[in-house]
Structure 1
Amino acid sequence: MKTALICGVSGQDGAYLSKLLLDKGYQVYGGSRDAQSSNFENLNRLGVLELVKLVSISVHDFRSVLQVIMKVKPDEIYNLAGQSSVALSFEQPVETLESISVGTLSLLEAIRFSGLPIKLYNAGSSECFGNAIEAVDENTAFRPRSPYGVAKATAFWEVANYREAYKIFACTGILFNHESPLRKERFVTKKIIAAACRIAKGSNERLVLGNINIWRDWGWAPEYVEAMWLMLQQSEPEDFVIATGETISLKDFIIIAFEYLNLDWTKYVSFDDSLFRPTDIEKGLANPQKANNKLKWKAKIKSRNLIELLIDSELNSKYL
């Protein structure tokens, strides 16, 4: 039986990854800053809360990380911890950089110090790339346009450095946007889906948004956590872009969602300039061919199917 430690287990990806690993027969430890009082609602929604062994770990604190690693002795560590909102990173840039870059460095250094043969997965982000003129892959230069993107780029190079310098099995999954019913409403996709469903049920509210002329590659989170696991099953550690390869505009996302509910989106959506970010990525284009070839991973659920799944889940209160 393999043992996995998931840092940031309470989030969307942490919950789906927990379920995946448990289904594969792993012993799963879920790390959170305060395991006694943290909200593990997502684990509960997926029916796995009682099966995950919860541990308190502060990834900012090297001593805390080392203590947990020496106690648990995991075969695999999944670093999903850190501030996860691009919009919030403009309001809390210091917290964002510290939670992501210092947390990643603590894990790497603790693995090195422990001497244990631990494999590390690090959660990267497409935000590292910035605007894409053409589809990006693992060799595309980073040009981040948010504090969040800067923090993720920093963590990426920390992982690459420890892999090269100390031969640690550490890799980064450069994941493009991936959604699920577990998303919080601070994420624009969830905000749109939740509001559209309430309006379909009779609410007279308006959906207030910022810039909808952005293009993103949106995928299905339960599929993306499988790619994380596959990266740690390879003979050599490598970084991978994980995406569907299909990009649509946020405006099209809105249109598809409202049309699925037989609504005219123009009657319910208004705009607020204050919701625009200081800098934003206009278009995200991805080439996940390396993951297709080496991991044998390919996204099955793309934009329209994803939106329909999210709406059906929201209307029926199901967590898929």
Structure 2
Amino acid sequence: MRVVNAPAEISRGTPQRLSNTAERLKKKLERGVGQAIADFDMIGDGDTVMVCVSGGKDSYTLLSCLLALRERAPVDFRIVAVNLDQKQPGFPAEVLPAYFETIGVEYRIVTEDTYSIVRDKIPEGKTTCSLCSRLRRGILYRTAREIGATRIALGHHRDDILETFFLNLFFGGRTKAMPPKLVSDDGEHVVIRPLAYCTEADIARFARAMDYPIIPCNLCGSQENAQRKHVKAMLQGWASEHPGRIESIFTALANVVPSHLMDDALFDFRGLTRATEVAEGDTAFDPPDLPAATLGGIRILG
């Protein structure tokens, strides 16, 4: 049995002093989450936010930030932490309930054996993520209805958004990323990603500082050859060799010029005449404009 230690931020409801490093990371992440919530109007007064907690570093950090921000937010909202126990062999079912009890958050544990379904349907060695995520999504939507959630908060961060963008670009033939806010597949829920401005590196450092009881995923954690792994490595290489490139690409996702792409559903190319007003002119051969300011809280997050 795995022993669950209370994280540094709270021990049996009594706040403890964080290290200087953890305190700086906490403030930085909370600032990023607060900025994303404000920029995309993610949470309003009276909302019930279902925070999906898998036991990974991202969802622990998301829950921590939302609980901290709720204490000083100008609006009142309810937080319910939800974990889906997919019955993976060796899954330490006692860890998350103990953690939730320790920090005093309202929670629900949902048990569904999706592990057996995925293993039965997906051949050995093939990527399980697609089927697993579809099954998980349906269960979480049902749970959201049961608890009356008006928002479903997921722990995807800036790196996840960029990786999804390049996966769609390289393998899907689409200019599409992972939006910070959207309507769920069943049309009944609003899904939010409050960590949209936060980097995986900062989240990982914060999770280590907080000593969260991390639970690894046995389904996808060993699939080193998945395309997302390669895209992640590419982005990490760029971040190391070309400082600022990742920030620029992320900023570009919020600065789209439809008249200078090729999607006739977004811009009426057939109806274009000399009298048509466009956001920008014929700048194809001009030097790129690289403004100092960037989207929302991105620059301050580095």
Compute the TM-score of the two structures, normalised by the length of structure 1.
Answer: 0.36
Q: Which has the higher contact order (CA 8 A, sep 6+)?
A: 2
Compute the TM-score of the two structures, normalised by the length of structure 2.
Answer: 0.37
